[in-house]
Chain A
């Protein structure tokens, strides 16, 4: 597999504010990259910089085989062969569906144009709507037109800015799988931006977590999920709950009992001993205790498709170790206010420094 896109030390300053700082990223041909991070972290700016709508202040963008965009060698968006799907779809309101899709087709004969548009219309199930105007379409149909329009000039890279944010939550999953299938079928390389961690795990081959203009971690979804590099990544992806820990001579103390030091891994690895420390507690590692006295109280009950989710607070009143909101999943029904005895099961503990 070849690398299609390489970003090195990319920095962007807008209105005297550093929006992107030293971004490094690469993407292989045919892969889908999910760019995820909180609102305002610079995701859309990164997308716009790759597309060419914003000029970088430092760093290079390299697109296989021969586009090298660096300081002093800006390449106009129309020469980059990068397609884009906008959050609001940005369909031309004065053109029909057909004209929208054909918009970017240049240097083709009339017949070739017709074949290409017809192909896309049927690929995206838009045959019945080709004569309509964008405002006569539903949100999902508009999205499909936007996709068809962006695919028409056969871009090397497709950028999608929050593609599912305007879609009804109930239909979102289905549309995501459909679009992923389509992109895979066309062997399209794509980057999509979202602030929704569920989307990124459904849609992406590779994910990159951003915060405050930097890429915190990138890699395969499972690798990032299992080994988050620091607490921001784990916190944003909501991989587990945070259980405060205090270091003893031979073990870690927590409000749910002591845990062994031998199995603890520390993140980030390079940092020395800093306070406070937290154990990343995934729901499957929190179990009912047979021999302990009650140590948590149920504050909130949520019914989900896989049983009950409880938010727990500690009964212990210790400034350092007490906690407010730890998630616990169970098939067993408990009442709000009920007190339980829980413990942390043995596993490779992940200890984070905030």
Chain B
């Protein structure tokens, strides 16, 4: 398909867009690698090795717990007749709406020495001091891992469940007719076939873990993300922060490569017609275990923290809080709406180019623009500062040359930097939603309008864009919610006195006063539920 005389313009625009999205990271890497500050070598000799090993350990533990929660949940829902399956199926996705740092705060509140659980225990058993009994300490790397896994396991659950449900049931029948019991065939056939999906899910969890900032910061577990934050905000050393960010990028790169490899392995995964899964009928004991397991995850990952938040919000509601909420809420909305709209537009341009353009290079702009998803917010913030800072200086020098007023930090110190960073980070989400929508449009529809005498300009809005409406909505919604939730990039890039819901909540959490921001936190969670509800409705309509 040819785009006619707009061909070159379109191509140029999409390449420029894609490159613009990735440039800051390149600048950061160069600046990081060429950094020669004393601080870096000092850090390297003192704390950095610990930070790196902490980061590695955290990743390992979070992936382990996420698989431990997610894979059995997927197996129970897709393979058995567990009671309440209809509801558990989507209830298990709800924890995705919970930011990990909120869960961390709420559980710390609950399980700390001064918290209600330990108080109750002390009262009941007449213990006087911590020396009288043992209770797990939640503010450890192990605690942080469990908190993160409680909200990240739905990635594993969703991907692996889908993979289980798409398996050719004849393969399982074949293994049964070759003498394997249900359990043996699960281990030898079902699970190995789902391995690529498990690997993709594990690498997504890995990326999210590397991107987490607030949870580890709150638990005082020092990792590379917290190191970047401290180096920049406390020492003000940008190039060292860039260097640490570059190290973190290496980790991310590993996760990306692992994910790509796993996706390639999914190629010969069949999605054939024999998909009527024969449910395993659970015995009373198994049923009990399965029900408890699933409800534990739903309650621990969503219902309990959500209820605690509700109670806080009701107990501490005040006019003052509503005022704060209003101003930071508007800021959050601004950031999220701008980001979602721009990311969706860019994704549309890039995806349509890939579809309608017949050059061999056509898919690259879309792919390049998607890399940002893996980049942690802290790293992106560094990249923005490394790129936009010098740009601002040049602009100001230029203004002086022209004898006009200095514009100040119009790029690095404004909403521009935040929206740009979030766009880079979430472009992949919009790309994915829109591209999968485009792939569902039959190829013949690219040509049909022309055979009816319509030019591409006339047919694009009538055919492709109107067919894409649901995908555009999904893309917008997903980016909107992610942008609402994103914390570290906003925290590092925000202009002076600029608070969003998430930064406000972070501040309150750091001061141990979440009560005063409970309403805002509730709002973030409720927004996070939107795409889950929408996607679930869409799934049940199919």
Which residues does A use to contact B, with CB under 8 Å?
48, 51-53, 76-78, 80, 82-84, 86-88, 90, 92-94, 103-104, 106, 133, 135, 149-150, 152-153, 155, 159
Contacts and interface: CB of A to CB of B under 8 A. Distances in A.
B269 interface: yes
16 contacts: A51-B173, A76-B182, A77-B173, A78-B176, A78-B180, A87-B170, A88-B170, A90-B173, A92-B193, A93-B268, A94-B195, A103-B175, A103-B178, A104-B178, A104-B180, A155-B177
B196 to A, nearest CB: 9
Interface in B154-191: 168, 170-171, 173-182, 188-189
B270 interface: yes
B192 interface: yes
A92 B171 contact: yes
A103 B174 CA distance: 10
A90 B175 CA distance: 9
B176 A52 contact: yes
Residue from the set B173, B181, B188, B269 with the largest chain A CB neighbour count within 10 Å: B173
B178 A149 contact: yes
Q: Is the interface of B mostly helix, strand, loop or mixed?
A: helix
A104 B181 CA distance: 11
Given A53-B278, A135-B268, A90 B178 contact: no
A149 B179 CA distance: 12
A77 B189 contact: no
A77 B181 CA distance: 8
Given A76-B176, A84-B174, 19 more contacts: A53-B173, A76-B181, A77-B176, A77-B177, A78-B179, A78-B180, A83-B178, A90-B171, A90-B174, A92-B174, A92-B175, A93-B268, A93-B269, A103-B178, A135-B268, A149-B178, A150-B178, A152-B178, A153-B178
Given A92-B189, A93-B270, A86 B173 contact: yes
Contacts of B189: 92
A82 B193 contact: no
B272 interface: yes
B-side interface size class: 20 to 34
Contacts of B176: 52-53, 76-78
Contacts of A83: 177-178
A324 B75 CA distance: 58
Contacts of B269: 93
Contacts of B270: 93
A150 B177 contact: yes
A52 B195 CA distance: 28
Residue from the set B176, B269, B274, B278 with the largest chain A CB neighbour count within 10 Å: B176
A96 B429 CA distance: 36
B179 A90 contact: no
A84 B177 contact: yes
A120 to B, nearest CB: 13
A90 B170 contact: yes
Nearest to A52: B176
Nearest to A134: B268
A103 B179 CA distance: 9
A246 to B, nearest CB: 47
A103 B180 CA distance: 9
Interface string B318-356: 000000000000000000000000000000000000000
A103 B268 CA distance: 20
A92 B178 CA distance: 12
A318 to B, nearest CB: 47
A51 B174 CA distance: 10
Q: Which 3 A-B pairs have the closest CB atoms?
A: A104-B178, A90-B170, A77-B176
Contacts of A90: 168, 170-171, 173-174
A18 to B, nearest CB: 18
A303 to B, nearest CB: 35
Contacts of A92: 171, 174-175, 189, 193
A159 B170 CA distance: 13
Contacts of A106: 179
A90 B269 CA distance: 12
Interface string B496-513: 000000000000000000
Contacts of B178: 78, 83, 103-104, 149-150, 152-153
